[in-house]
Structure 1
Amino acid sequence: MNDDDRIFKALADPTRRGILDALFARDGQSLTELEAVAPDMTRFGVMKHVKLLVDAGLVVTRRDGRRTLHHLNPVPIRLIHDRWISRYVERQAAALADLTQRLESS
C-alpha cells in the first residue's frame, strides 16, 4: 500500500476524522483524552484508530514522561490537497470566473 492509499484509508473512517478534528482543536492529547471522541468505543479500539493514523503519517507521537502525546501532522493532508483536490477545483473555479466575466460583459 502506498502513502496516498494509507492517507485515504485513514481519512475514510469517521472516528479517525473525529480524532484528527480533536487534535486540530487542541494538539498534544493523550490517548485517554482522545477516547472522548468515541465514547462508545473501547480504549483498545481507539488505540487501533490512532495507530492507523500514525502509520499514515497524519499523527505523530511524543513521549512526555509517562504519557504519550499525539500531535496532528497536517503535511500529508496538504500533499493530498495539492495533488488531487486542487487539480479538480482549479478547472471549476476558472469556469466560474469565465461565466462571471461573460455575464458582466452582457
Structure 2
Amino acid sequence: MDQERRAQWLRGVLDLCVLALLRRRESYGYELSQALRAHGLGSVQGGTLYPVLLRLQRSGLVTAHWREGETGPARKYYRISPAGSATLRTAGTDWTAFAASVGAIMSEEPMR
C-alpha cells in the first residue's frame, strides 16, 4: 500500500481507532501502537500517536493516570471516558455509513 495514502487515510480515523482500542481495555502508548500495527494499520509512531492521546485527553474523551512499571519506568495508561464511549458510538456509526458509501462507489461498474 502506498505509505502516503495510508497516512492520509489514517489521519482521518486514528482518533476513532484509538478510542475503539481503549473501549476494550485501558492501555499505554506503545501498547496502542502495537495493537494498531497488529490490526493492519502499519507503524504509528509516537510523534503521531501521543498528540492524538493528548488531544483526546484534553477533550475529555479519555482519562490518563501513571502506573509504576514492574520492571521498568512508570507508564501513562489511558482509559476511555463515558464521553469517549458516547463519541465512539456516534462517530463509529457515521464512519460505518461513510465507509459503506465509499465502498459502494468503488465497486460500481465503470460507465460505458
TM-score of the superposed pair, with normalisation by structure 2: 0.53
Number of residue pairs the alignment of both structures matches: 71
Identity %, equivalent residues = 15
- Deviation, 1:47, is 0.5
Instruction: Please say if 1:21 is aligned against 2:20.
Output: yes
Q: Which of 57, 60, 75 does residue 60 from structure 2 map onto?
A: 57
CA RMSD of aligned residues (A): 2.8
Alpha-carbon separation, structure 2, partners of 1:76 and 1:34 = 16
Q: Which runs of 5+ in 1 are unaligned?
A: 1-11, 82-106
- Deviation, 1:75, is 2.8
Q: Which runs of 5+ in 2 are unaligned?
A: 1-10, 69-73, 90-112
2:30 alignment partner in structure 1: 32
Task: Map 1:1-106 onto structure 2 (within 5 A).
Answer: 13-25=12-24, 27-36=25-34, 37=36, 38-65=41-68, 66-75=74-83, 78=86
Distance change (3 Å), C-alpha of 1:17 and 1:76: closer
- Deviation, 1:74, is 2.0
TM-score of the superposed pair, with normalisation by structure 1: 0.55
Structure showing greater Rg? 1
CA contact under 8 A between 2:62 and 2:84: conserved in structure 1? no
